[in-house]
Structure 1
Amino acid sequence: MLFLSHTSSARLPTQFGTFDIHVFSDRRNGLEHIALACGEVQRAEAPLVRVHSECLTGDIFGSTRCDCGEQLHHAQRLIQETGHGLILYLKNHEGRGIGLTNKMRAYALQDQGLDTVEANEALGLPVDARSYEAAADMLAFFDIQRIRLLSNNQDKRAALQALGISIAEQVPLLTTPTHENLKYLQTKSHKLGHLIPDL
């Protein structure tokens, strides 16, 4: 691994099933990334993998402004049903990489009528500032080069492929739109090219 050091592991029972949780420390910045592993992922030809960006509001507080928490839980269910797979939980990805403070500033602008892309641009910030080297490093730890990617995001697929990860299949993670997140999902579909049909 180029950037990460594996620091600890334990069994993690969840409401969706039991995973093995692995913690990795990033030598570049001290951040701790997480992998949730189900089954013998090394033996799978192309295991299901969710590369999930940290979202405090959606993952922890159950925000309905986004679909992040719902996608995370849906991925946990699918991986448990399949019997093997990984969730790679990447820190420092809040707000597509702009950080929590700027994400709240963007939320305030969205409350004034801007969409998520326009809000970032109005703040002078990139629409998406994420990178995926940590995900590639975690996959290398598990000796995985080929995956079935749980994602609607075509740019994420391209970024992982650019890091040498072979994508055997892109499996959409579709959620149920709400009044609060419909415009957000439409923006991801129409402006960011996410694979979200019927919006």
Structure 2
Amino acid sequence: MEKFEVSNQAKLPTRFGVFFIQSFRELKVQKDCPCPVEHLVIFTQNLPEIPLVRVHSECLTGDVFGSQKCDCGGELAIAMEKIAQSVEEGKGGMLIYLRQEGRGIGLFNKVNAYALQDKGYDTVEANEALGFKSDNRDYSIVGDILHYYGLKKIHLLTNNPRKIDAMSQYVEVIRDSIIVPSNCHNEKYLATKKSKLGHLL
């Protein structure tokens, strides 16, 4: 059985520039039921041998609604800006948008985790109180995506050492930092990412 299906390519004009998009439909089995998960890859027309890459996990509250409880929406915007700028420098890159809401626990559980954070739990404590790991994400599909585009070495936009380790299973990784300014709503969140999850902030 195939692990994934790939859509056609299409143009995506954005406020950052014109990109191309392609969707990867991951064929998973969850709770004994077929459950396809559809990821999105946004990339520049010409990919260099060593592109700038952001592997971004979906955050509906931050990416779409501008939540200031996290740094996700800011990271997404900075990544798109940097990838667009790299084109002007004669390079290029891609953003792999993974449908792994709430570090892999889903939107429903993420909202419940938010409710616990309102009561004083930090982001790790909230996930664990709901019976999840601090980070439930699976990056195996990223290996397939990078292989599909023939990539062997990337500049990875991340502060997450676990993500660096995960990507290093598939390609050679050079880390580029991506820093979003803190605010009064996410100071504790960012401090927890640094102290408990080892983020390079």
- TM-score bracket, shorter-length normalisation: over 0.9
Matches within 5 A, 1:25-40: 25-28=25-28, 29-40=35-46
- Secondary structure in 2 aligned to 1:101? helix
Q: Which residue of 2 aligns with 1:109?
A: 116
In structure 2, the partner of 1:3 is: 3
Question: Counterpart of 2:127?
Answer: 120
The count of aligned residue pairs is: 190
TM-score (norm 2): 0.91
Q: Does 1:24 align with 2:24?
A: yes
- Name the residue aligned to 1:88: 96
- Supply the distance in 2 between the matched residues of 1:148 and 1:112 (Cα, whole angstroms): 39
**TM-score normalized by structure 1?**
0.92
Q: CA deviation at 1:23?
A: 1.1
In structure 2, which of residues 169, 174, 177 is the aligned counterpart of residue 172 of structure 1?
177
- Offset at 1:3? 2.3
Q: 1:30 & 1:9 partners in 2: Cα distance? A: 19
Instruction: Return the match for 1:194 from 174, 180, 199.
Output: 199
1:181 corresponds, among 172, 177, 186, to 186
Give structure 1 regions of 4+ aligned residues with deviation exceeding 2 angstroms: none
Task: Give the Cα separation in 1 of the matches to 2:44 and 2:188.
Answer: 34
Shift of 1:123: 1.4
Q: Distance in 1 between matches of 2:130 and 2:22?
A: 36
Deviation at 1:105?
Answer: 0.9
Match of residue 67 from structure 1: 71
- How many angstroms does 1:120 deviate by? 1.1
Q: How many angstroms apart in 1 are the aligned matches of 2:84 and 2:117?
A: 36
Residue 4 of structure 1 deviates from its aligned partner by 2.1
Residue segments in structure 2 that go unaligned for 5+ positions in a row? 29-34
In structure 2, what is the Cα distance between the partners aligned to 1:7 and 1:67? Answer: 30
Structure 1: unaligned runs, 5 residues or longer: none
Q: Which has the higher contact order (CA 8 A, sep 6+)?
A: 1
CA RMSD of aligned residues (A): 1.1
* In 2: Cα distance, 1:88 partner to 1:123 partner: 28
Report % sequence identity.
46
1:45 counterpart = 2:65: no
